[in-house]
Structure 1
Amino acid sequence: MKDLGLLQYFLGIEIAYEAERIILSQRKYVLDLLTETRVLGCKPAATPIDQRCKLGAEAGEPVDREMYQRLVEKLIYLSHTCPDILFSISVVSRYMHDPRKGHMDAVYQILRYLKSAPGKGLTFRRNGHVRIEGYCDSDWASCADDRMSTSGYCIFMGGNLVSWRSKKQSVVARSTAEAEHRVMAVGVAELL
């Protein structure tokens, strides 16, 4: 065995050590993805998905399915250090079986958002406590195709983000309260 020193780069994840904090990012991965998709010269976007965006199964003409799936898979891998794009990735990944132009436009919106800060990632710092906190939310009946809710949660330990998820719920909720209770149950299970 050989000591190679502190970990700097592993599976596309860059680790930077600063005083009192560690930063995980995928800057090189993002820049390579933006270069591959020719988005590097485009205007950056302020948000990963438009709030008014209600994608449905019939969102324009069909596009190249293999290319769409490859891009979404790369974005899914990127969500390991970029939890801020997780909701938008969960939306575009619903249409991997039959992608349309509107779905591809949403993928390019995510890519343009990543251009605004390619080195953004997770920061872990010593905060002097190990308190566990959890936050959850749901977007009642947000899917235009089947009226299912999208739910998400994030778990912090010692003030650092350690677990997060955004996923469409498995059943149709009759009310926003029911959708919220479902996501709370999933969030509490993750806390435990």
Structure 2
Amino acid sequence: MLTKHLFFFDTDGPIDRYKARLVEKGYTQTYGVYYLETFAPVAKLNTVRVLLSLAANYDWPLGKLTALIIYVDDMIVTGDDQAEMQNLQKYLASEFEMKSLGDLKYFLGIEVAKSKHGIFLSQRKYILDLLAETGMLDCKPIDTPSEQNHKLGLYHDQVPTDKKRYQRLVGKLIYLSHTRPDIAYAVSVVSQFMHSPSEDHMGAVDAYFEVSESDSCKGVNILHGHTYVEGYTDADWAGSVTDKRSTSGYFTFVGGNLVTWRSKKQKVVYRSSAEDEYRGMTQCV
């Protein structure tokens, strides 16, 4: 990533406007030479869920507290002081071109429904649009996103499939998992074969869409509760049939609400299940 600076000067010399943006020039940069990881300067969806959990749980007892969270050109403003939030919005509007959409109902493809019991997040419209795009609106629903003790892996006799379509569909599923923790593990599995997908892998992806169609109204409930932070972890020792590496999984609650979850293959092979579990706990913490 390169930072591009634009300066605008008045006739008498002082800077009238300043703007900075990130410009990706992948064709001139090499992994391991110019960068080791990618970074997007936006709020994580985990942070969004934590903020909504706090909004649902707290009566903001600190007084005059205002929270602002930004994702590219979308933002959420919340707090316990209406006048302070309005002042913040007026200030931002004086500096940037922006528009208030009122109470939060839709954010980054996520539907937000608020009631006296709390907040409900779902991606129903996203799922239906995705099924229509892939021609799977009339598919037969199934109950589980993956078979138990599945054997998905890389094999020398596998039949290749459309690589671009596979990568595009898996990318859609990754975004869907922001409100569907029930498919997190299944999506992490098919994400491991982006470079060399087979017909078996594509069949698994199609099955995930069938699950999504049957449960399009599912989502994440953010309810009034306590203010503790809780975390749970697990790992399947040597679960991969390809390289015997394990997959760690964790999920955490803030105020009794599920806000973060992840399922990811570990980087090395561990010699015991105990070592495997400790590594999983480390990732959670």
So what's the TM-score if we normalise by structure 1? 0.93
Select 1:78's aligned residue among 176, 197, 201. Answer: 176
Q: Alignment partner of 1:45: what SS?
A: coil
Q: Alignment partner of 1:73: what SS?
A: helix
Matches within 5 A, 1:37-116: 37-58=134-155, 60-116=158-214
Once the two structures are superposed, residues 106-142 of structure 1 have per-residue CA deviations (whole angstroms, 9 ceiling, x without a partner) of 1011111111110211110111x10111100001111
2:275 paired with 1:178: yes
Paired position in structure 2 for 1:142: 239
Aligned pair count reads 187
Once the two structures are superposed, residues 20-79 of structure 1 have per-residue CA deviations (whole angstroms, 9 ceiling, x without a partner) of 211111101101111222222121111111113110112731000000000000111111
Q: In structure 2, what residue type is equivalent to 1:143?
A: S
Rounded Cα–Cα distance in structure 2 between residues aligned with 1:167 and 1:4: 36
Q: In structure 1, what residue type is equivalent to 2:265?
A: K
Q: Alignment partner of 2:251: what SS?
A: strand
Once the two structures are superposed, residues 70-112 of structure 1 have per-residue CA deviations (whole angstroms, 9 ceiling, x without a partner) of 0000111111111111100110000000100010011011111
Q: Alignment partner of 1:172: what SS?
A: coil
Q: Mind listing any 5+ residue stretches in structure 1 that lack a counterpart?
A: none
Q: Alignment partner of 1:93: what SS?
A: helix
Identity of aligned residues (%): 54
Paired position in structure 2 for 1:20: 117
Higher relative contact order (CA 8 A, sep 6+): 1
- State the 4+ residue runs in structure 1 displaced beyond 6 angstroms: none
Shift of 1:176: 1.5
Q: In structure 1, what residue type is equivalent to 2:184?
A: L
What RMSD, in angstroms, separates the aligned Cα atoms of the two structures?
A: 1.3
Compare CA radii of gyration and give the structure with the larger one: 2
Q: Mind listing any 5+ residue stretches in structure 2 that lack a counterpart?
A: 1-92, 94-98
Paired position in structure 1 for 2:260: 163
